[in-house]
């Protein structure tokens, strides 16, 4: 029974054969998980990369070097641009194609039905693709994951097990930080073993936050299977036409400036005034302004120019936004939730301004200025004017 | 040419605005003390539907799954979109549903609406759950073409083809605006940056007319409102609520405090002398960029 589901499939994202970093990060994490899995369960389950596109045969070979045991690819001009419908259909076909599953491991060819696990990227493409693929496959999906563990879980659950104690073997524990950044929720995708409505829920799937897992090193001596899957393409699934694509420059630039001044809910006492102070501080340092995730939800009423300029998702530093390695990072009224810290921890010199010495940001900064930003920022600005003259580098 | 029918799926969410939101001392959301409101992304979806009303005279319907008090969110969304039909899908059987179980309810609800839908809108994601999965999952169950991150759209009413721009942001690459076209019906998950704009006088006149109508309707929202339980909706009970949810929340824990990555020097923010020293350190850190 257990062998109906084997392997971990990773859906690769790329731009004309150039991998997005998250694709390789997922391969690296998949490799780590399945190496542990295989030694723990004395098994030989594989990391299988799934890649769709046009003229991608060469690129798919590289996935083996990064850690995949096998690559299943579909090469077709209709798959050049990612279009949700046709990509969902082809990935779902691949996940249910017992022939390719059998090619991965001939000895299990007779029983295998589907992958055991499946990974997608939590970005503009993978977030939606994972949703529609898992709807087509009628299985479970957790989004925005930043930690993964595989374990046997013993539990009794009113609905899942009908209240009986059961062991769910080889269960993927999918950890996701919640919107506050202080709570971590573990999601499981479990078969219904309740006799009232028994049902398989495989693959256990998730979308993974880009930038969270390490990039694996390429090893040209690695070998693996490359399998072409020729999809069935129905013209009905090609109704979306891509008319054009235009690259846009973001107004927010976290790459060039060497200073980033971020703010969080600590602006709340005088949001308008404090945002102006932060704006001024950033200007004095020729820096960019960042925000924490809660601020992008526009929790405060401020004048519309400040609102539309600053309280926007594009400015979020953290797992839901950007990662920075600024030379100077100033966190004003930022508590230091895990998602935010992920986005700023690679900065050079970190200054936090916060009245609360117990705030987690204290462990992530070099200087902790204890005080309200209303009081501290004007002093900082005054002193910066005296000490630091910034001339824009040409 | 025919009529354009638009549905919006929305969600009642915690109100994260100051004064309405309440946090526990440990920084987590205090749900009991936090008020509820129409989710901000749902509101944007309602605005996108109202654009269809103003531009094409669309007929708007709204559906939500939630507790009985979610009628508040329907009323708020009606105020934005001038909807003529409000659906609340509410049953204890729906409780505890994950996104797949929720999508099944919403799909069934949309089928139950008076008109056959041409466009269904959802918000980008909920502010509390933040998965962004319910929209695309509902789309797939409906068999509609799914378009995510849509920042603007127009409809050719003759050919029944929708044109839209989508904002695609991927790790390590500049953002891309993709222009696409697709025949109706489509399901659109609207991007947070979406903004309706009405350039012509006739459009602005229609805007004001329908806005007034929306206020009148929202004042009497009960006239447009229907609540459905599982039986009335006719859902397959094994596909909704907990039985229809592949995933469960296994545990919720505080994020473990990571080991301190830096050793902070604590300074008194009210002492100008100490601030002076901090700025000197900042200067040191920035020295590579300071050209004297």
What pLDDT, in 10s, does the model give residues A65-78? 999 999 999 999 99
Q: Do A234 and A337 belong to one domain?
A: no
- In this complex, which of A121, A177, A244 lies closest to B255 when CB atoms are compared? A177
Rounded CA gap, A392 and A236, in Å?
A: 54
Give a yes or no: residue B266 inside a domain: no
pLDDT (0 to 100) of residue B291 = 44
Task: Select the residue of A188, A285, A299 nearest B248 (Cβ to Cβ).
Answer: A188
pLDDT for residue B290:
44
A349 interfaces chain B, CB cutoff of 8 Å: yes
Q: A212 lies in a domain?
A: yes
* Stretch A300-312: mean pLDDT: 91
Residue B23's pLDDT is 79
By the 8 A CB rule, do A160 and B248 touch? yes
Tell me what pLDDT residue A178 has. Answer: 79
The answer to whether B269 and A375 are in contact (CB under 8 A) is: yes
Indicate whether A63 and A201 sit together in one domain: yes
A219 and A146 in a single domain? The answer is yes
* pLDDT tens track for B141-175: 999 999 999 999 999 999 999 999 999 988 777 88
Rounded Cα distance, A351 and A341, in Å:
13
Instruction: Using an 8 Å CB-CB cutoff, list chain B residues near A304.
Output: none
Residue A72 sits in the same domain as residue A149: yes
> For residue B269, is it within any domain?
no
Q: Has residue A100 been placed in a domain?
A: yes
Say how many domains are in chain A.
2
Interface contact B261-A190, CB threshold 8 A: no
Checking if the pLDDT of B259 tops 80, the result is no
pLDDT at B1 > cutoff 70: no
Average pLDDT of the residues in B79-104: 96
Per the CB < 8 A criterion, the answer to whether A160 and A118 are in contact is no
pLDDT exceeds cutoff 50 at A394: no
The reply to whether A221 and A269 lie within a common domain is: no
Q: Do A375 and B246 touch (CB under 8 A)?
A: no
What range defines the domain where residue B127 resides? 5-233
Nearest CA in chain B to A265: B18
Partner-chain contact B130 A184, CB within 8 Å: no
Q: Which residues contact residue A330 at a Cβ distance below 8 angstroms, ignoring those fewer than 6 apart? A: A259, A260, A261, A262, A281, A285, A287, A350, A351, A352, A353
CATH of the domain at A291: 3.40.50.1220
Residue B29 has pLDDT above 90, yes or no: no
For residue A253, is it within any domain?
A: no
pLDDT (average), residues A313-326 = 87
Tell me what the mean pLDDT of segment A302-318 comes to.
91
- Chain B segment 103-142 residues within 8 A of A by beta carbon are 103, 127-128, 130-133, 135-137, 139-141
> Per the CB < 8 Å rule, is B262 touching A350?
yes
Q: What are the C-alpha distances in Å from B49 to residues A241, A254, A261, B119, B201?
A: 23, 34, 37, 9, 20
User: In CATH, what number is assigned to the domain containing residue B172?
Assistant: 3.40.50.620
The reply to whether A204 and A273 lie within a common domain is: no
Judge if A224 and A344 occupy the same domain.
no
Asked if residues B69 and B103 have their Cβ atoms less than 8 Å apart, the reply is: no
Looking at residue A1, its pLDDT comes to 43
Backbone angles phi, psi at B144, to 5 degrees: -90, 150
The predicted pLDDT at position B292 comes to 38
CATH code of the domain containing A162: 3.40.50.620
Q: What is the mean pLDDT of residues B6-17?
A: 91
Q: Which of A236, A250, A198, A206 is nearest to A115 (CA)?
A: A206
- Split at pLDDT 50, 70, 90, the class of A166 is very high
A298 with A190, same domain: the answer is: no
Q: Is residue B288 part of a domain?
A: no
Q: Do A352 and B168 touch (CB under 8 A)?
A: no
Question: Quick one: pLDDT at residue A251?
Answer: 78
pLDDT of residue B19: 77
A265/A228 same-domain check: no
Percent of chain A beyond pLDDT 70?
97
Residue B275 lies in a domain: no
The pLDDT of B257-274, averaged and rounded, is: 87
pLDDT per position as a tens digit, B199-220: 999 999 999 999 999 999 999 9
Q: What is the C-alpha to C-alpha distance for residues A138 and B280, in angstroms, rounded to an integer?
A: 59
pLDDT score for B169:
86
A271 and A177 in a common domain: no
Nearest chain B residue (CA) to A242: B180
Q: Is residue A246 part of a domain?
A: no
Same domain, A16 and A88: yes
pLDDT at A180 over 70: no
Mean pLDDT of B25-30: 72
Per-residue model confidence (pLDDT) at position B27: 67
Give the pLDDT score at B49: 98
Q: Please state the separation of Cα A123 from the chain's center in Å.
A: 7
B245: which chain A residues are within 8 Å (Cβ-Cβ)?
140
pLDDT band at A391 (very low <50, low <70, confident <90, very high): low
Same domain, A44 and A175: yes
**Structural domain boundaries, residue A380:** 259-387
Q: Work out how many domains chain B is built from and give that number.
A: 1
Integer CA distances (angstroms), A88 to A133, A210, A231, B86, in order: 5, 21, 11, 31
């Amino acid at each position: 029974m257990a062998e109906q589901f084997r392997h971990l499939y990773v859906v690769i994202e790329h731009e004309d054969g150039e991998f997005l970093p998250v694709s390789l990060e997922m391969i690296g994490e998949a490799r780590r998980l399945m190496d542990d899995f295989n030694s723990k369960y004395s098994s030989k389950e594989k990391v299988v990369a799934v890649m769709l596109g046009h003229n991608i045969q060469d690129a798919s070979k590289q996935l083996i070097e990064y850690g995949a045991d096998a690559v299943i690819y579909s090469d077709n001009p209709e798959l050049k641009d990612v279009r949700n419908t046709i990509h969902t259909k082809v990935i779902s076909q691949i996940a249910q194609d017992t022939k390719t599953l059998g090619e991965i491991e001939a000895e299990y060819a007779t029983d295998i039905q589907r992958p055991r696990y499946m990974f997608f990227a939590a970005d503009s493409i993978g977030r939606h693709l994972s949703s529609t693929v898992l709807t087509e496959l009628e299985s479970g999906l957790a989004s925005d994951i930043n930690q993964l563990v595989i374990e046997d879980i013993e539990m009794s659950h009113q609905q899942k097990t009908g209240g009986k104690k059961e062991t769910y073997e080889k269960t993927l524990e999918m950890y996701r930080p919640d919107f506050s950044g202080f709570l971590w929720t573990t999601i499981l995708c479990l078969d219904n073993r309740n006799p009232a409505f028994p049902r398989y829920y495989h693959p256990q799937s998730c979308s993974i936050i880009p930038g969270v897992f390490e990039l694996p090193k390429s090893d040209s001596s690695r070998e693996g299977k490359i399998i072409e899957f020729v999809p069935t393409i129905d013209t009905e699934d090609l109704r979306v036409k891509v008319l054009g694509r235009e690259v846009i420059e973001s107004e927010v630039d976290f790459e060039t400036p060497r200073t980033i001044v971020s703010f969080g809910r600590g602006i709340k006492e005088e949001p308008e005034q404090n945002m102006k102070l932060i704006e001024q501080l950033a200007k004095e340092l020729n820096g960019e302004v960042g925000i924490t995730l809660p601020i992008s939800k526009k929790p405060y009423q401020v004048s519309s120019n400040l609102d539309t300029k600053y309280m926007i998702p594009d400015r979020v530093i953290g797992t839901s936004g950007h990662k920075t390695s600024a030379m100077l990072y100033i966190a004003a009224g930022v508590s230091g939730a895990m998602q935010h810290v992920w986005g700023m921890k690679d900065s050079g010199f970190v200054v936090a301004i916060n009245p609360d010495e117990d705030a987690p940001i204290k462990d992530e900064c070099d200087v902790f200025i204890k005080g309200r930003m209303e009081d501290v920022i004007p002093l900082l600005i005054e002193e910066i004017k005296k000490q630091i003259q910034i001339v824009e580098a040409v | 040419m025919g009529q354009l029918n638009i549905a919006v799926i929305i969600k009642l969410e915690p109100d994260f605005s100051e004064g309405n939101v309440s946090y526990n001392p440990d920084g987590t959301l205090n749900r009991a003390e936090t008020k509820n409101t129409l989710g901000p992304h749902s509101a944007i979806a309602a605005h996108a539907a109202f654009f269809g009303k103003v531009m094409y005279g669309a007929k708007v319907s709204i559906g939500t799954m939630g507790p009985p008090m979610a009628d508040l969110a329907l009323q708020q969304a009606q105020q934005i979109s001038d909807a003529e039909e409000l659906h609340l899908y509410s049953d204890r059987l729906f409780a505890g549903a994950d996104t797949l179980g929720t999508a099944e309810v919403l799909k069934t609800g949309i089928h139950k609406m008076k008109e056959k839908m041409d466009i269904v809108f959802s918000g980008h994601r909920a502010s509390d759950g933040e998965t962004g999965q319910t929209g695309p999952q509902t789309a797939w169950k409906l068999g509609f073409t799914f378009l995510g991150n849509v920042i603007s759209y127009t409809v050719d009413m003759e050919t029944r083809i929708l044109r839209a721009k989508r904002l695609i942001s991927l790790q390590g690459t500049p953002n891309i605006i993709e222009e696409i076209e697709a025949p109706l019906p489509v399901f659109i998950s609207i991007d947070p940056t979406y903004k309706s704009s009405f350039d012509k006088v006739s459009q602005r006149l229609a805007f004001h007319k329908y806005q007034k109508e929306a206020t009148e309707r929202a004042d009497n929202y009960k006239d447009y409102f229907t609540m459905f339980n599982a039986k009335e909706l006719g859902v397959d009970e094994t596909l909704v609520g907990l039985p229809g949810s592949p995933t469960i929340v296994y545990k919720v824990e505080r994020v473990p405090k990571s080991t301190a990555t830096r050793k902070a020097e604590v300074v008194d923010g009210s002492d100008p002398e100490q601030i002076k020293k901090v700025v000197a350190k900042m200067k040191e850190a920035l020295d590579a960029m300071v050209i004297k």
